[in-house]
Structure 1
Amino acid sequence: MRLTTVTLLAAVGVAGCFSSTASAGVKINVVTRTYDVTGTSGQALVASMDRSGPRHGFMARAIAQTNYTKTWDFDFTKAKGACRIKQASGTLNLNFVYPRIASPISPALEKHWKRFIDGVTAHEETHGRIAREMMAATDKSLTGLTVPDDPQCSRTRREAKRRIDAIYDEYEDKQNAFDAREHREGGHVEYLLNTLEAP
């Protein structure tokens, strides 16, 4: 079953800024929150998610959602007029939103719900994994970046931003391609909904 007013599962990436205060490595902060759904049937639970899920765009709601922000800090070194990024330190803030049943349900429906929410969680965790891979690829691209004849490190900063933006776009394409596969007709999202609504 497909819902007309719900975007079932969505990933939203938000580009971040960068500064020149350094800390070591890539830091990942994960926050998971839930919203309550109620119902005594699979159809009722789907309708509750449609009403209460996180917003996706102006009108639609999602069943579950992943969004993230990223920032980068740099430790620069200068030698003979060149600027080098000695350490690139990234922070990824990952936020997951999931539905949580807040009313009594039958053992049979609980079994269907567990299969459904396990699949939803796996989907969102894949978005999280792609975001983590993005940070690792960016870290690899930035660390050791050296620009000659750049005593103020301004060209180095511009090149770092260009690389951050390019890698971000590459991995957003991967996020979108994953969603397209999952949301296609007869795809995994449809399977999960059918599983929940099965008698």
Structure 2
Amino acid sequence: MSMIWLVFILLGISSLLFTQQTDVLTMLMIESAKDTAMLSAHLLVLMMFWLGFMKIAEAGDLIQLLTRLMKRPLMWLFSSVDQNSQAFSYIASNICFNMLGLGNAATPFGLKAMQLLKGNNQAMTTLVILNTSGLALYPTNLIALRLAFDSREASVIILPVLITSFITTVSAIILLRVTFNARHKWVKQ
């Protein structure tokens, strides 16, 4: 894959040199560096806000409240995890933050849950699948990216994101259940 990108870059630079438009290359490098810095600053501010919120949520027992609200569906999805364990709380927090479209803020919870779930392959796989399918009730990061690039209607994506993420999450859960049930039957034989 690196070779393909190298070929693309070399072809692009060669065509600029051949057409004697090296000033375009310089301008593009400066513009892309500026865009990258601006985008990074937007995402950094958003990340700092939500990580601070996460610390406040932990101190204010919001995490325990979210765990209680998510308990029934999570008990069904993570039947191999003790519902009173710390891992269960981290799983609930990870999923709640992901549902708010805050994947960056959810990552520390997911990593901590994975550490605590070590050896529980079914629960670890379920958590990875749920994070990958990405059910988002409100896609905060996507809206922030759209705002960073001056989108006029940054929040117009909420309904399409909700529909597609719901479909992918339900599909992922069904495939996960089918796979684990088939594996369980196969191991019994």
TM bucket, shorter chain: 0.3 to 0.5
Larger relative contact order, structure 1 or 2 (CA cutoff 8 Å, min sep 6):
1
Q: Larger strand proportion, structure 1 or 2?
A: 1
TM-score when normalising by structure 1: 0.36
Q: What TM-score, normalized by structure 2, do the two folds share?
A: 0.38
